[in-house]
Structure 1
């Protein structure tokens, strides 16, 4: 059964860029009684309008009824916008929602990378834009069908603390942190260690991490990331080694988002993962050869699809 409805008035929620991540969190909020509109590609919208969103999770498999649209104007009237587009599309998608966004709306960035909230805030200078760190293993298993493989928690900035209770009641573990920048860098480090290897091999985390020599490569990647973060004055949140192990332990069957993008012939976010570490390292005079090799190989694979 869905969680009980929240005691406070239901939120009006729009999910901009409702892929696997947006569908999962939007679906969870809809199950809890919030008025959710998913803004997604037409094939997903048609399936959701006809049958609802199928949420196949570790604990339930349901058709969740909510609204869906392929038009950015559907953010109109939303109290909360979950901003889930690819890092490559941040500015363009921000410009699309700007004319329709309520002044009082909170925009929560559920994206990979460390600078999306800053980039989006530049496009939406008069709105509350908050960064969030996302830990969830999901995939779109078909039109209007999201499959959940593990976790489902968020670390959010204090400026979005007012929405945390609604997230928690909806079954989403939401932690408010004063060091979201450090948490974003921790996620960047994990993505840099796992995503490209999963993409290049088209294997899930559990199989890549036990490959011969791969642990050493991952260790080199992590050490380079930490050196760049330290030079930038970032206090990386948490135990990095434990976090790297946790991905292997909790998501062994998950393919990285980068792997999923390449498998579908789509451009990945590699420029904002290993590529960002390379660029920041170059600017700071820090060598990042392991990250550079992984970035270059994924870019080469992307070029094959052109």
Structure 2
């Protein structure tokens, strides 16, 4: 065990889909006590055969606890909050009676406001986290890892810094690099920028990132998305550099050309997406700040239309 063990003896993953199950499995295989709280089919498969973690080296079965009841978060001193953005506040309210004031919640979610929304309902500290990982859940009980698997975390609360360093040590010893950043909100906005550039287009076309950027017309649309996000971020007090954001956008597809966005996966399965908290958030925030966002607004509307068509079909 590493030096961070006394801080985090019991780890719970709330909303254990592909992302949460991956990070939970990495911690469990390093010897930590982890409980995944997820959907019944996923939980039942894990109870039968363990979590099957598919990585480049092959498939590994990871033994860990799995529950469907949110009450399983009881007594956890570290919680990975991985639910979809629309569910953040409802799930935080459900968790609140089971967590002590000394627990620490990491929001491993898309969007820039989930930690603040969760913190309104929880008795403990909630830390925003930026997740960089390509995963999918091809079947219940199975998580496939395609690339990266690192986190950026941070908080302006000086009292939390030793615990954040302990989180970084905990994950680092489990093979998950974690950076404690003084500008985690800037990092969240940069991640939001990437999600806005890729997610909706991948979803509407049901195409992976590599196929998207192969078309100059799509590259042009993605650039316009990024320009709008940067303009909104700057109006909101964030110092995003346009050239750096465009470079990050260009680098993502070559790093994971076969990846379908999480929005594309949700749409294909008929599940509600997080589009309201991605391009939709930019459209709403832009309107509030007086910044025009026609491309983000259009992509948001098209994904909403595709969702409605799936529900009606």
Classify the TM-score, shorter chain.
over 0.9
CA distance in 2, matches of 1:17, 1:112: 13
Runs of 4+, deviation exceeding 4 Å: none
Indicate whether 1:172 and 2:173 are aligned.
no
Q: Could you say which residue in structure 1 is the equivalent of 2:266? A: 261
C-alpha displacement of 1:60: 4.2
Shifted more, 76-85 versus 241-250: the winner is 241-250
- Matched position secondary structure for 2:215: coil
The 5 Å alignment of 1:151-190 reads 151-158=148-155, 159=160, 160-190=164-194
CA distance in 2, matches of 1:245, 1:212: 12
Q: Alpha-carbon deviations, 1:160-207, whole Å to 9, x = none? A: 333110010000010000101000000000000000000000011111
C-alpha displacement of 1:123: 1.1
Indicate whether 1:305 and 2:310 are aligned.
yes
Q: Is the 8 A contact 1:6 1:33 kept in 2?
A: no
Indicate whether 1:197 and 2:201 are aligned.
yes
Indicate whether 1:129 and 2:126 are aligned.
yes
- Matched position secondary structure for 1:213: helix
Q: Is the 8 A contact 1:106 1:129 kept in 2?
A: yes
C-alpha displacement of 1:242: 2.5
Corresponding pairs, count: 301
C-alpha displacement of 1:246: 2.2
Q: Could you say which residue in structure 1 is the equivalent of 2:298? A: 293
Q: Alpha-carbon deviations, 1:40-74, whole Å to 9, x = none? A: 10000000011110000123420000000000011
Runs (5+) with no aligned partner, structure 2: none
- Matched position secondary structure for 1:222: helix
The alignment yields a C-alpha RMSD, in angstroms, of 1.3
CA distance in 1, matches of 2:90, 2:292: 32
TM-score between the two structures when normalised by the length of structure 1: 0.95
Runs (5+) with no aligned partner, structure 1: none
Q: Could you say which residue in structure 2 is the equivalent of 1:138? A: 135
The 5 Å alignment of 1:78-117 reads 78-117=76-115
Shifted more, 269-278 versus 57-66: the winner is 57-66
Q: Could you say which residue in structure 2 is the equivalent of 1:252? A: 257
CA distance in 2, matches of 1:272, 1:257: 13
Q: Could you say which residue in structure 2 is the equivalent of 1:65? A: 63
- Matched position secondary structure for 2:130: strand
CA distance in 2, matches of 1:204, 1:11: 39
- Matched position secondary structure for 1:92: helix
Q: Could you say which residue in structure 1 is the equivalent of 2:217? A: 213
Indicate whether 1:283 and 2:288 are aligned.
yes
CA distance in 2, matches of 1:161, 1:262: 37
CA distance in 1, matches of 2:234, 2:120: 26
CA distance in 1, matches of 2:236, 2:56: 39
TM-score between the two structures when normalised by the length of structure 2: 0.93
